[in-house]
């Protein structure tokens, strides 16, 4: 007779993390429930991974419900917890909820990092709150947290959405001054912003820079260039 090997909380955490990678939020919640059914106790990792699954599946309300469950279980939230929750709200365009969570995080004295700020700036970008996104970026730098490629891309993307091509170029210059490497997302957002602003020559110049950097143009790049050409008649 083969004895049944009992799973541990760590076993379930690995399964929930796998669900998070695939945005399989319902299965992640099922595994979380199963932890307790096995007489085990979920930990910080269990909840954070389940929240991440919900975030990637745009189930922000489920992520917040898990946060409430976590508090009831007296498990202290961490930087990862709040960053994941802010990301969940941001992906759904719920920038006000994201800001509330950020304020809670600050009040609790929990450390913010570049991923926290990037998630929050992204939430504001989706909500077309460009001044707030820029203010948060300044706060990030004031706290001594350096911007990365993702942060700059989100800011440039926010400028693109708000038709602020001059500001997009200014942020691009800040990016270069900070010695942060642009990628294809950077150039696509810049080209799109400039094309929408009727700056065809600038768009073409950026396209050349993109090629010189060894980055491959894609459908979005050419669509932005064509849009600029059409606007110029």
d(CA 233, CA 220): 20
Size (the chain), residues: 233
Residue 230 banded pLDDT, cuts 50, 70, 90: confident
Q: Would you say residue 58 lies in a domain?
A: yes
Q: Would you say residue 31 lies in a domain?
A: yes
Kindly give, in sequence order, each residue whose CB lies less than 8 Å from that of residue 18, ignoring residues fewer than 6 positions away.
none
Q: Would you say residue 172 lies in a domain?
A: no
Kindly give, in sequence order, each residue whose CB lies less than 8 Å from that of residue 164, ignoring residues fewer than 6 positions away.
130, 193
Kindly give, in sequence order, each residue whose CB lies less than 8 Å from that of residue 230, ignoring residues fewer than 6 positions away.
none
Q: Would you say residue 32 lies in a domain?
A: yes
Q: Would you say residue 125 lies in a domain?
A: no
d(CA 127, CA 206): 27
Long-range pairs for 127-136: beta carbons < 8 A, 24 or more residues apart: 127/93, 127/95, 127/96, 128/158, 128/161, 128/162, 129/95, 130/158, 130/159, 130/161, 130/162, 130/164, 130/167, 132/95, 132/99, 133/158
Question: Where does the chain show beta strands of DSSP type E?
Answer: none
Whole-number pLDDT of residue 66: 98
pLDDT digits (tens, 9 = 90+) for 162-199: 999 999 999 999 999 999 999 999 999 999 999 999 99
Q: Would you say residue 85 lies in a domain?
A: no
218 exposure class (CB count in 10 Å sphere: 0-12, 13-18, 19+): exposed
Whole-number pLDDT of residue 6: 85
To the nearest whole percent, how much of the chain has pLDDT over 70?
97
Q: Would you say residue 215 lies in a domain?
A: no
* Residue with the two structure tokens 């799973």: 7
Domain count along the chain: 1
pLDDT digits (tens, 9 = 90+) for 126-160: 999 999 999 999 999 999 999 999 999 999 999 99
d(CA 101, CA 212): 41
Are residues 202 and 172 in contact, defined by beta-carbon separation less than 8 angstroms? Answer: no
Structural domain boundaries enclosing 62 = 8-76
Whole-number pLDDT of residue 176: 95
Q: Would you say residue 98 lies in a domain?
A: no
């Amino acid at each position: 007779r083969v004895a049944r090997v009992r799973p541990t909380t760590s076993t379930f955490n690995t399964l929930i993390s796998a669900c998070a990678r695939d945005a399989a939020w319902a299965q992640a919640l099922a595994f979380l429930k199963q932890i307790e059914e096995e007489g085990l106790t979920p930990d910080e990792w269990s909840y954070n991974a389940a929240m991440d699954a919900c975030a990637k599946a745009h189930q922000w309300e489920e992520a917040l419900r898990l946060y409430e469950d976590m508090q009831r279980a007296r498990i202290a939230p961490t930087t990862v917890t709040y960053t994941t929750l802010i990301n969940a709200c941001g992906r759904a365009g719920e920038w006000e909820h994201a800001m509330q969570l950020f304020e809670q995080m600050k009040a609790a004295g929990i450390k913010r990092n570049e991923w926290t700020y990037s998630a929050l700036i992204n939430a504001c970008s989706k909500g077309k709150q460009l001044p707030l996104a820029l203010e948060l970026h300044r706060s990030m730098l004031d706290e001594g947290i350096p911007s990365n490629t993702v942060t700059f891309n989100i800011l440039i993307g926010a400028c693109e959405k708000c038709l602020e091509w001059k500001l997009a170029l200014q942020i691009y210059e800040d990016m270069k001054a900070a010695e942060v490497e642009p990628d294809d997302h950077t150039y696509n957002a810049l080209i799109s912003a400039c094309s929408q602003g009727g700056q065809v020559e600038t768009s073409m110049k950026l396209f050349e820079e993109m090629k010189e950097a060894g980055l491959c143009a894609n459908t979005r790049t050419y669509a932005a260039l064509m849009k600029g050409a059409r606007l110029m008649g």
